[in-house]
Structure 1
Amino acid sequence: MKLAWRIILALALLAAAITAYSYGSITGVFLFVIIGFVLEGLFWFNLFPVRRRINH
């Protein structure tokens, strides 16, 4: 279930980023481009999570 949730979250973030980019492009409001950039960054960080090593 964890894998399915991660895939759904990744697709939702990607769709939201594309929507924000396109809305910012159409309206000319740069804030939506910034929001799209942040959402895309969250998409990539969700796709490749940082794994921490535990030193024993």
Structure 2
Amino acid sequence: MKGVFRFLIAMVLIVAAIASYSAGNSTGLFAFVVLGFVFEVAFWLRLFPLSKKRKSHA
């Protein structure tokens, strides 16, 4: 179930990014392009999460 939920969130983010880019292109509002960029970054961060560096106990 967790995998399906992650997949659905990723798909919602990429669809929102594409819709924002499209709205920005058709209306000429740069704010939609920025919003699309934010959604796209969120998509990529969900797809490839940042790994936390391990601390060595030496």
TM over 0.5: yes
The 3-state SS of whatever aligns with 2:33 is helix
- Sequence identity (%): 46
Matched pairs, number: 56
Q: Which runs of no fewer than 5 residues in structure 2 stay unpaired?
A: none
The structure with the largest alpha-carbon Rg is 2
Q: Which residue is 1:43 aligned to?
A: 43
Within 5 Å, give how 1:1-56 maps onto structure 2: 1-55=1-55, 56=57
Scaled by the length of structure 2, the TM-score of the pair is 0.88
Residues 1-56 of structure 1 show CA distances to partners (whole Å, capped at 9, x for unaligned) of 11110000000000000000000000000000000000000000000012324435
Scaled by the length of structure 1, the TM-score of the pair is 0.91
Question: Where does structure 1 differ by over 4 angstroms across 4 or more consecutive aligned residues?
Answer: none
Counterparts of 2:15 and 2:30 in 1: how far apart (Å)?
A: 18
Q: Which runs of no fewer than 5 residues in structure 1 stay unpaired?
A: none
